[in-house]
Every structure is written in C-alpha cells, then in structure tokens.
Structure 1
Amino acid sequence: MQSNQHSSFWFQEAIARESNATVQALEQDIHADVCIVGGGFTGLWTAIQLKQKQPSLNIAVIEKDLCGSGASGRNGGCMLTWSTKFLSLKKLYGEAEAKRLVKASEQAIDEIEAFCQEFQIDAQLRRHGTLYTASNAAQLGGLDSVLNELKRHSISSWQPWTKEKVQAESGSALHQEGHFSEAAASVQPGLLVRGLKRVAEETGVAIYERTPMTGIEKKQQPVCITTPKGRIRAGKVVLALNAWMPSLFPEFKNSVVLVSSDMMITKPIPEKLAKTGLKDGKTVIDGRTFVHYYRTTPEGRLMLGKGGNYFSFANRMSKVFDEPSRYQQILNAAFHRFFPSLPLELIDSTWTGASDRSATGMPFFGRLKENPDIVYGLGYSGNGVAQSWMGGQILASLVLGENNTWTRSGLVSGPLASFPPEPLRWFGALIIRNAIRRKEKAEDHHRRPRWLDCQLAKLASSAGKADKG
C-alpha cells in the first residue's frame, strides 16, 4: 500500500507494516444507517463505539486519503489529559463539569490502553507519564495556580520534582523545575489509528479510503453524500473532519484557526539517549505558550516538536501541512538547546501537522442547524490523542439520541467563541506569534521582554498551551 510521500514518520512506519493491505474505495451507490466522514481518531472511535453499543448498525466510513493520513497520524503521540486546563474548563463549563472532564480525560488514557490490549494493537503505548517543566526562569511557577486548584478539589495527579530529578529524568539541564503526572502516556499515533481501522473493519464497519466527499445535501432526509464514484444515503451523518471542516463548511470558518505543529525525529540512538538520562517513554513539555515537547521511542529515537509556527490564511488546507517542516531551523535550535551533546546530523526526518485551534482551546461538538441528523466535532487545539476517545463517546451518543453525561456536557454546545474574520485573523495571529517569539527569546537569554510583546502574548495565553498531542 502506498501512502503520501510527505506523511509523518509515524504514518510511514505504520503503513510499511501493511505491505499486503489493500485499499477499498467506494465505487457504487450505497445506503447506511450512519455515514462517518473522516477516517482519523475521532471518526474511527465513533464508529467503534457505535458498533459496541448497537452491533446491528450499518456504518460506513469514508476517508479522502488513507485512514490516519491527516492529523491523527502526524501528531507527537503525547497522550495527555485536561488536568492542566482545569481553570479554563471551570470558566467555560462550571466547576462540576470541569472536574468530570478532568477525570474523564484521565479515564480515556486507561480506556485506550485497555482497548489496545484487548484487540492486540501494538501501538507502542507506554504508561510512563508526563513531565511539565520550566525551561527558563520566566516559566517558573507557571503551573502553580492550576495545580493549587486541582489539589483543592482533590483531583490532582501531579507531584513536584526537585530540579536535580527533573534534569536527570528529562535528559536536559535546561529545565529549571518540573511537575510529574502518571496520568499520561506516549503512543505511536500511526500504529494506533491503523489499529483502530483494523478493529472497526473486524466489527463490521465498511471503510472506504481514497473516497473524498465531493458534496452533501444537508437538508435532505436521508442525507445524501456524494463521492467521485458513488453516493451514500444515510439516516445519520458524523462529520469528523477536524482541520478540514472550515474549508468544507463555511459556518465554521471563524470557529477555529489552522496552525502547524512541526516535528523532527532522530535516527535510532539508544546509547546516546541513555547517556543523557532519557530512559523511558515519558513526554516532556515546557512552559512556553507554543510549547516544545519531546519523547523517545522504544527503538531509541528522539522526537521533538514545536507548536504555533505556520498560520493558514482563511483556514485553507495549505500544502505546507503536507510537507517536511519549513521550520527546521527553529527545530534545530530547540534540539541543540535541550540536547547540546547530540549533533544535528542525527536528525532523520521532519514533518508538519495541522492543528484546528479553537478560540477557547477546547473542542466543541453539536448538530448542524440545517439538519439535526448531522453531528460534528472539531477544535481539539493540539490535545486530541486521548480526547478523541471522548469525542467518539460524544458523537456516538448524539447519533443514538442518548441522554447521558456526554450529550449533556458543556462540550456539546457548538463553538462558544470565534476568531475575527479575515484578514484580521491572519494578521493578528502573525503579530501575536511574532510577539511571543520575541518575548520567549528574550526570556531564554535572561533579558527583560518588551512590554508590548508581553501584552500581546497575553492574548494567546487565554486558550492555554497548545499543539503537542
């Protein structure tokens, strides 16, 4: 099976293990109880959870390329919870729901691990936790307010580490402080999403790859979806397109902004990594606005990523998102700062992922106004590997018309905020991004940032840290 030559290292590795697999495209008209548009984490979790609840459902999934070739197979593989977003959750949905969502996001880690074990998905899932750090003096104490609130509500999984332990466990002397949580994991996202595809098919879900949606009659019942070689008439439709939603559904054009997360990975260097102190699969995330994040793989590679680089004008799915990173100079600089003993020649590959960042920093779900039989979910804002399991629960519950904690969640309110229209959004995003870069560069070099840069940076911080999952 051939994949896009510019896909991530993760996805290429996963596809290489499927040398005998075939691609089934839709070539005729069909009927389905449920049609899911999008074959990534959200779409596949929804299909599987629908089948688990009602095995008799006739479910069809269509994917324009290969399942997982989009953001699901291109992210950093950091399975993180929403605990550090508790204050934002509380502000948006209230204290009780915020506590429930933090616990649910932790449960998602357990559920995904159990699912992989039950269905023998070798996704290199490692329950080694996560370490949130301060990589310069300005970041010290950045988590204090949220950690105090989590502790006050008895839902904190975090523990402070000494500076010496942080530096030893993270493999880098750059870190000044850190807090560790066991409620996290790392995973090879390409292997996970391809594993979900296999399980979905084994449960009876029909999956059609290289079958893009070319049209949808939203006001018709059953809903009619057109593809290049066939139509699908479905009683219920799930739109699990995430970063592709704004370009296909104009009603969401101001609900998210598409921004890149850029990643690099080294060749296998287990001995060199052992000398730095990196000895397990924990994820390490620093405290800047557009974070650095890194982790190792079982074969001894080191992956490092940086969020918040390329902002797409009018949320167009630019070719940038399907190319090696344009920001390798930034990645190289970060790699050298964190690991000065490792030469840049060890870098094997770079790639780019598209993140659909909402104005609140949280995903949102709902029903289309034109037709309540069409449900949607998007806006994971860089935290979606574990949260997509929750998204599948929400969307499956909406499809079945259930009245439960998922359908009553504040997440099921559609977009709660919006970005300015173009061109203000794009110009504003670049101004704020560049201010953040100048501010954090000054902080890295122990200089006082300019006052204006600090004020502009505050405009981005309201939605929380981003682009690592």
Structure 2
Amino acid sequence: MLNLLMPPSSYREEDRSWWLNDVRSLQGALRNHARLTGTQTADVAIIGGGFTGMWSALALLDRHPKLRITVLDAFRCGEGASSRNGGKAHGYWSSLGRLSQQLGASAALATARLGDKAQDQLRSFCTSSGRDCWWQESGNLAISTAASQDYKIAEAVAVAARMGVADSVVALSQDEMVQHIKAPLFRGGLLYREGATVHPARVAHYLRAEIQARGCAIYEDTQIAAITPTENGAVLHSANGQLTAGKVILTTNFALSSLAHLRPHLTNFSSYATMSRPAPEALRGHGWLGSVGAADLRMFLHYFRKAGDRVLMGAGSGPIGFGQALQAERLRQDKPSLRRPANALQRLLPGFSTQDIERSWGWPIDVTADRLPYAARLKGQNIFYGGGFSGHGVNPTLIIGQCLASLVTGQDDEWTRSPFCQRKMPSLPPEPLRFIGGSAVRWGIMSCENDEEDGHSPNMAARFCAALPRLTGMSIGLR
C-alpha cells in the first residue's frame, strides 16, 4: 500500500492569492464538485487537480476520447500552486546554457522546442472563444540589476549563437531596455520573445470546465489517503469511498515526496508574491506601456509582470522545507518572505511604494536537484507520476501532462523520449543535511546578491556558503 501525504489546505483566507480572489467573479467559480463516496471505477484516475493533472486529462482525451477519466483533488481543482504563481508562461530558451551543460546540446535544444510546442498549445487554449485568460504575449525580459550579473547577458547570447539558435534571444543595452521598462537599477538585459503572461486562476477555472465538458468525472474535497496496487491497476482509498482504476496518475506537486524513491531527488522550497493596487501613473512613469514580463538575473530571482494597471512582484527565495513537513507555516506565512516581494517592488520600480500593496501570499514549490520536471512510471505498477517544476510551471505543466498521457497510453513519441522522461535525476544530500545545507546556501546567495546590488563586496562567510553547491558538484543553487 502506498500512503499519500496530506497537502496544506488551499482554503485558508490568509493564504489566498489575488488571482483566486479575482476569479470568484466568474460563473461557477465557487461551486465545488461532490466528494468521492461509495465504490466507483475509472479507466484512469488522476490524483491532484492542478494544472498538471488537468492537462494530463485533456491530453489523454485527445489520444483516446472514450477513456473514462476521474480527477480527484483534496480541496478544489486548480486552487493550489496553479492559482498562486506569477502567471508567466514561457519554455526553456532562457535555460539553454544550464540545460546544455546538464543534458548536452541536442537534448537541451529538444527540451526548448518542446517548450515551444507547449506554448503553442497553451496559447490556443487561452485564446479560444469564450475564455478570458488575460493572455498577453510580448516576450520576457531578463534584467541585470548589478555589475555581477552583467556577464550573464553576453553568456546567454554566446550560448544561443553557438547552438545555432541566435534568434531565440536579443541582448539589450541600458538605452534599449528603457524602451520596455525604465528604472534606475536596470543596466541592460535580454529579451526572450517566447514569453507571455496569463491570469493563472482563470486558466485553471477554464481547464476545470473543459475537462468536465469532455466527460471527466471530478471529485473535490477528496483526500486520497492510500493507494493499493492490484494486478490490473489500483484501488484508491478516501474517507468516504474508494475508486478502482486501471491506471493512476499522481500529480500532487510537492506532496509527491510521499514516494520514497523520489525523496533523494526533491526538496521543497517556497515562493512568495505581492500584487499592487492599480497604479497607472507609476507604470507610465516607468515607461511600462506594453505587456512584456520581466525578471532580474539573480539566482534567487525576482519576477514581475503587469496585470492590467497592477504589478505582480514575486520572489523565488522563500524558506526551504524540512523533509515531508508540508504543513510548515514558513512555507506559506514567513513574514520576511512576505515582505521581500513588496520591498523588491519599491527597490526595482521606485515609482511604487510598499503602501501600494494590495495582497501578498506564499506557497510551497517542489524543486528537483537539476531544476527540471519529470514524468515516470512506478516500476512494475500501473501508477504514473509527474512534477518537480521548481517554480516554473505554467508552460511546463502542459509538457508533463503530455508526457504522462503518452506514458499511460504506451506511446513512444517525442514526449516520452524527452529528458523529462529519460534522464537520470541527480540526488540531494539526505536530511537533516539537506535542510541545514540548503538553508546555509540560501542565506549565502541572498546575502551576496543583496550586497552586490547595493554596490558592496559580500563577506567571506556569505561567499563560502553561496559557493557550496559548486564546490560539492551539485546542479541546484548555482549562481
């Protein structure tokens, strides 16, 4: 029997994102589906009704329209990480250098091109008639805000040229950056034309409606506590019922650490975001007239985008989790982490102040040792799983949905042959070294990046802690 972890409640008001509050205005957005009761059956059961689970359901139906698919969520489909992110949609062109080092040039290019394919499918879904997902496609900026980040601009351009995809990125001088957004700290950067922005909770809302319209059974407020594998599939057990399925897909995000063989390869961090009040004058003052998205070139980056006349600022620098303690308050309500995006908004875009903040929130994220998601099958069982988005999920969840659908249906295609399914995942140190070491690295990198942005030289302790991943040969935490 496989026991599953209980994820944190997505219903707590203090954890609710601005996106979730906004989506309540849509018809049917507040009505939950019934709990699983009695004894039910399905061809495929999907545990976890976020982006990954719902994209998996649609991809399966595209392949086999008559499949009986059931999607189960412990709370409400699409109200976990899927509705609490920054809503920035892009693939892997901005990660080409890192991927080529980890996977080789050919696999890195294949990964980036699958991101393009996913972006096309995401665009098609979000812009279909009747879906107001706030899709805006003007590219994504990667901005240097300190002299120590400048080398990354030339490096990214050189990597793209060397790999024959020079048109995937454009270097911007400080004067050219002003044409997109002007701010005192912006020194220049890169423009990746693939980037788009969406309203993530609206995407989740329309996905939920689509899988229902195409015949999926949906059970919400249904925590699956355990799975019993059988010769022909598995039996899912909840408090009020059970479901027998021929095949099972686990898309429970950070709760996938319940799988013992995955624990060496995963850790849980947290990401925090802030949404401003409407501020059209501040946006005009910064010359931010288009819809381009942006992020700085830190390792623990700040990501930001417009949402109408508002700005969302996020920081992928929340506390690290310890083991399987998914309910830890520091992963959702860490006060310094709640303040960090608001402070970054004022520092990076000084036309805004901390008084302009409407809402801030945090949520756990699952991070793999190489920062690339995965899809796989439990050895010898009809149980499949996918996750590991490492804070980058709007586009990659669709990729993993396609991978899982192909794995479940036994297809040999570009999805199952990709590094998402085929690579050997590196490992992290065991607990408590993972937590202690990860916390030290986080402190060191954040200290170095703060000092460098302020024009100061980081102290020796911070430099040493920041260098630990490189010194120990790890792929995560590299500056």
What is the TM-score when the length of structure 2 is the normalising length?
0.91
1:170 to 1:415, Cα distance in 2 relative to 1, 3 A: farther
How far did 1:458 drift? 3.6
Q: Separation in 2 of the partners of 1:119 and 1:214?
A: 39
Distance 1:230 1:326, change over 3 A: farther
**Deviation string, structure 1 residues 224-250 (Cα, Å, up to 9, x no partner):** 01112111111111111121111x323
Find the counterpart in structure 1 of residue 3 from structure 2.
Answer: none
Q: 1:304 to 1:419 in 2, by over 3 A?
A: same
Confirm whether residue 188 of structure 1 aligns to residue 226 of structure 2. Answer: no
Identity of aligned residues (%): 27
Q: Deviations over 1:232-273 (max 9, x none)?
A: 111111111121111x32332222111111100111122321
2:353 to 336, 343, 355: 343
Question: CA-to-partner distance for each residue in 1:409-463, whole Å, 9 max, x for gaps?
Answer: 2221376111111111111011111111221122112122234533432445764
Contact preservation (8 Å) 1:397, 1:407: yes
Quote the residue 1:62 is aligned against.
72
Partners in 2 of 1:453 and 1:335 — Cα distance? 24
Equivalence map 1:124-163=2 (5 Å): 124-156=134-166, 157-163=168-174
- 1:60 and 1:346, CA in 2 relative to 1: closer, same or farther beyond 3 A? same
Residue 55 of structure 2 corresponds to residue 40 of structure 1? no
What amino acid sits opposite 2:394 in the alignment? V
State the match for 1:270 in structure 2.
280
Asked if the contact 2:285/2:351 (under 8 Å) is kept, the reply is no
In structure 2, the partner of 1:308 is 317
Q: 1:369 aligns with which of 379, 393, 414?
A: 379
Cα distance between partner residues in 2 of 1:40 and 1:245: 13
CA distance in structure 2 between the aligned counterparts of 1:188 and 1:342, rounded to whole angstroms: 22
After superposition, where does 1:322-401 map in structure 2 within 5 Å?
322-323=332-333, 326-371=336-381, 373-401=382-410
SS in 1 for 2:94: helix
CA deviation after TM superposition for structure 1 residue 149, in Å? 2.0
SS, match of residue 359 in structure 2: strand
Match of 1:453 in 2: 462
SS in 2 for 1:195: helix
8 Å contact kept, 1:121–1:195: yes
CA–CA separation in structure 2 for the residues paired with 1:415 and 1:96: 16
Opposite residue 170 of structure 2, the aligned amino acid is: Q
Conserved 8 A contact 1:325-1:351: no
1:7 paired residue number = 16
Matched ranges for 1:172-211 at <5 A: 172-211=183-222
Distance 1:179 1:108, change over 3 A: same
For the structure 1 residues 174 and 339, does the alpha-carbon distance in structure 2 shift closer, same or farther, using more than 3 Å as the test?
same
State how far apart, in whole Å, the 2-side matches of 1:147 and 1:297 are. 29
1:74 to 51, 66, 84: 84
Query: Which of residues 264, 286, 294 is equivalent to 2:296?
Result: 286
**CA distance in structure 1 between the aligned counterparts of 2:438 and 2:453, rounded to whole angstroms:** 22
- Rounded to whole Å, the distance in 2 between the matches of 1:375 and 1:119 is 33
Q: Distance in 1 between matches of 2:29 and 2:365?
A: 31
Distance, in Å, in 1 between the alignment partners of 2:438 and 2:196 is 31
CA distance in 2, matches of 1:98, 1:259: 25
User: How has the CA–CA distance of structure 1 residues 12 and 321 changed in structure 2, closer, same or farther, with 3 Å as cutoff?
Assistant: farther
Which amino acid is the alignment partner of residue 103 of structure 1? R
Deviates more, 1:343-352 or 1:107-116: 107-116
For residue 425 of structure 1, the aligned residue among 426, 434, 446 is: 434
State the one-letter code of the partner of 1:203.
R
| Contact preservation (8 Å) 2:172, 2:191 | yes
The whole-number CA distance in structure 1 between the counterparts of 2:260 and 2:214 is: 34
Q: Secondary structure at the match of 1:133?
A: strand
Q: TM-score, normalised by structure 1?
A: 0.93
Name the stretch that deviates more: 425-434 or 310-319.
310-319
How many angstroms apart in 1 are the aligned matches of 2:228 and 2:142?
Answer: 46
Any stretches of 5+ residues in structure 2 without a counterpart?
A: 1-9
Which 10-residue stretch deviates more, 14-23 or 360-369? 14-23
The alignment status of 1:412 with 2:412, answered yes or no, reads no
Q: Which whole-Å CA distance do the structure 2 matches of 1:36 and 1:263 have between them?
A: 29
SS of the aligned residue for 1:179 comes to strand
Change (3 A) 1:343 1:20: closer
State whether residues 366 and 414 of structure 1, in contact with CA within 8 Å, keep that contact through their aligned partners in structure 2: no
Shift of 1:160: 1.4
What residue in structure 1 maps to residue 243 of structure 2? Answer: 232
Q: Determine helix, strand or coil for the equivalent of 1:327.
A: helix
Match of 2:451, as an amino acid?
Answer: A
Residue equivalent to 2:181 = 170
Q: CA RMSD in A?
A: 2.1
Please identify runs of 4+ aligned residues in structure 1 that moved more than 6 A: none
Deviation at 1:309, TM superposition (A): 1.8
- Structure 1 residues 220 and 352, CA gap change in structure 2 (3 angstroms): farther
Tell me which amino acid in the other structure corresponds to 1:269.
Answer: A
Instruction: Supply the AA of the counterpart residue of 1:222.
Output: G
In 2, distance between residues paired with 1:284 and 1:151?
22
Q: d(CA) in 1 for partners of 2:81 and 2:334? A: 14
Q: CA deviation at 1:154?
A: 2.4
Q: How far off is 1:290 after superposition?
A: 0.4
> Does the CA-based 8 Å contact 1:7-1:322 persist in structure 2?
no
CA distance in 2, matches of 1:356, 1:101: 20
List per-residue Cα deviations over 1:39-87 (Å, max 9, x = no partner): 0111000000101111000000000011111111111111122112223
Aligned length: 462
In 2, Cα distance between the equivalents of 1:196 and 1:129? 24
For the 8 Å contact 2:266–2:428, the answer to whether it is kept is yes
**Structure 1 partner of 2:305:** 295
Report the alpha carbon displacement of residue 96 of structure 1 after superposing the two structures with TM. 1.8
Aligned position for 1:434: 443
Q: Hey, what's the Cα distance between the residues in 2 that align with 1:261 and 1:275? A: 28
Query: Aligned with 1:250: secondary structure?
Result: coil
